[in-house]
Structures are given as structure tokens and as C-alpha cells.
């Protein structure tokens, strides 16, 4: 069975929240397993993330908050876990998180994602299904690919149930990563993270920052379209649909769409697949 899930980011206004919940309702018609909601560096969106998670949960489909440990104390994390339990949350996306500007890693009680996974298991047992991040093309701050694989295995052994990857545009990178971690004893599902292509300049800037490679042939075609947004969207839909089909045919257990709080681009790809 192929699983489907979608990611949102917290909005800054009440109006934005209402629009996001409309998007949630549009996506809910396709019976996703859960909606995840991101969490800002150092807990900077803590209250807004909680509010969005609560609002989504109340509409009947599971919400999975992101929870990072850098910049948050154990007491703050413990309190947030309790609050999430109280509103019926049973899945969390556990991350190290980005360092707040000017902050040092040494100042955090929990400094790595495997430590956060261990802490949640110690505090709550098996109450939460814990997702961790995977990086088929290597975490941008990892010293090398082998160390990054070791870090991933460490998170899994700490108690993770499943993994969601950073987005990528080369299916072979996903299959190679899965083969490597399977050989290292990892047997949890690894769900590909999917980023629809709708705006080349924003995508290029974001991808450069997070270490996701846009293959040269895709870059050059997108550059050739210039400001022709309709052609960019059409080409992007074709590229992502073809990649997703290859992933699913090759055994990927599902797809996790980075929606950027829009329903259209993700649904266009999904409808091509079903």
C-alpha cells in the first residue's frame, strides 16, 4: 500500500491560517496518512506550529508536528510533548533543527536528532510514531557521505519508526541511499520527500541552501523558459511525475509532498499517478 502525506509551514496571520485549512481540506479528499507542520529554528514558531497542528487535528486527519531540539531545553520539549499528547497527537517528525542566528550547538541540552529520539522514547515510551530525516544526497553540514549514513543509522537505532527524505530530483540517489542503509541493518520505511517545481529562481535558491541537487538538464530547461511560468509548471509536473512513478515502481513505500502551503502542484502530480 502506497502512503501519502503532505507538509505545511506555519502561517503568520489568522487569514493565512484559514487559507491553509482550506488547502488542508482539498488535500484531505485524497486520504493522506498525515499532515506534517514545520518548526522554526530554535522553536521560533513553537506556538504557531502548535496552533496549526491543533486546527488540523480537529478536522479529522492526523497531524504530525515537527519538533527540533537545538535551542530548546528538555523541560520545554517535555512540556510540548505533554501538550501534543493532550490533543491526540501520536506522530512527531523529530529533527536536530537549524541553529538560531548567533547560537552555538554546545548551548543545547540535546544537540543531535538521535538524542531527541532517545529523549522522547524515555519520556513517552511508544506513544508517538517517530519520523526522522534522511538525506539521499547528504546533509549539507555532514563532513562526508559515510558519516552521514552513520548518523542516520544512529537515529534509527535510537527508536525511529520511519524516515522522510530531503527532496531530490534524481531517483537513483534515493535507491542508492536505501540500499546502503539496508546493508547497515536499517529496515524502517524511508519515504521520499517530493518538491513540486513551480518557480525556478526560488527552487534554485532553496536547493542551494539545503544541498538538494537540481540536475543540469533540468536547470537548463527551466532557465530556458525564463518568465514563462506556465511552461515551468507544466515541465515541472512532467519531471516530478516521472520521478515519482520511477520511485514507486522501484519499491518506495509512499510519497511525502512539500506543499509550500498549496494544494495544486502536489495534487497535479498525485493525480497523474493514481
Span 127-175, pLDDT tens digits: 999 999 999 999 988 999 999 999 999 999 999 999 999 999 999 999 9
Answer for the pair 101, 144: CB distance below 8 angstroms, yes or no.
Answer: no
Share of the chain above pLDDT 90, in %: 74
Question: Looking at per-residue confidence, does 240 or 57 come out higher?
Answer: 240
CB under 8 Å to 139, separation ≥6 — which residues? 148, 151, 166, 211
Other CB atoms within 10 Å distance of the CB of residue 233: 18
Range of the domain at 217: 3-273
Given a cut of 80, whether residue 43 has pLDDT beyond it is no
> How would residue 200 be classed by pLDDT, with cut points 50, 70 and 90?
very high
> How would residue 188 be classed by pLDDT, with cut points 50, 70 and 90?
very high
What gap in Å lies between CA 85 and CA 89, rounded to an integer?
Answer: 5
What gap in Å lies between CA 37 and CA 66, rounded to an integer?
Answer: 6
Mean pLDDT of the region 230-250: 97
pTM (predicted TM-score): 0.93
Rounded to the nearest integer, the mean pLDDT of the chain is 91
Domain count of the chain? 1
What gap in Å lies between CA 25 and CA 104, rounded to an integer?
Answer: 40
7 is catalytic: yes
- Catalytically annotated residue among 7, 118, 131, 137: 7
The cell numbers describing 240, all together, are: 516530478
Structure letter (DSSP) for residue 50: H
* Domain CATH number, residue 83: 3.20.20.220
What gap in Å lies between CA 55 and CA 41, rounded to an integer?
Answer: 22
Amino acid at each position: 500500500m502506497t502512503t501519502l502525506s503532505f507538509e505545511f509551514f506555519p502561517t503568520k496571520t489568522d487569514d493565512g491560517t484559514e487559507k491553509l485549512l482550506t488547502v488542508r481540506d482539498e488535500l484531505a479528499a485524497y486520504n493522506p496518512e498525515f499532515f506534517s507542520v514545520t518548526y522554526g529554528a530554535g522553536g521560533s514558531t513553537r506556538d504557531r506550529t502548535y496552533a496549526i497542528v491543533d486546527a488540523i487535528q480537529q478536522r479529522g486527519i492526523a497531524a504530525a508536528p515537527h519538533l527540533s531540539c537545538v535551542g530548546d531545553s528538555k523541560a520545554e520539549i517535555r512540556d510540548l510533548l505533554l501538550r501534543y499528547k493532550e490533543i491526540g497527537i501520536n506522530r512527531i517528525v523529530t529533527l536536530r533543527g537549524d541553529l538560531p542566528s548567533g547560537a552555538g550547538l554546545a548551548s543545547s541540552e540535546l544537540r543531535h536528532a538521535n538524542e531527541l529520539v532517545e529523549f522522547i522514547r524515555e519520556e513517552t515510551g511508544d506513544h508517538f510514531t517517530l519520523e526522522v530525516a534522511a538525506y539521499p544526497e547528504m546533509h549539507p553540514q555532514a563532513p562526508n557521505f559515510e558519516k552521514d549514513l552513520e548518523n542516520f543509522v544512529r537515529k534509527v537505532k535510537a527508536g525511529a519508526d520511519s524516515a522522510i527524505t530531503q527532496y531530490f530530483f534524481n531517483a537513483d540517489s534515493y535507491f542508492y541511499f536505501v540500499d546502503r542503509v539496508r546493508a547497515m541493518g536499517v529496515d524502517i520505511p524511508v519515504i521520499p520527500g517530493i518538491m513540486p517545481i513551480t518557480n525556478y529562481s526560488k527552487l534554485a535558491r532553496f536547493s542551494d541552501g539545503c544541498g538538494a541537487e537540481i540536475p543540469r538538464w533540468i536547470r537548463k530547461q527551466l532557465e530556458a523558459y525564463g518568465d514563462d511560468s506556465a511552461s515551468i509548471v507544466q515541465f515541472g509536473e512532467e519531471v516530478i511525475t516521472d520521478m515519482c512513478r520511477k520511485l514507486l515502481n522501484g519499491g518506495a513505500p509512499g510519497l511525502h509532498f512539500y506543499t509550500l502551503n498549496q494544494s495544486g502542484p502536489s495534487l497535479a502530480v498525485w493525480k497523474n499517478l493514481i
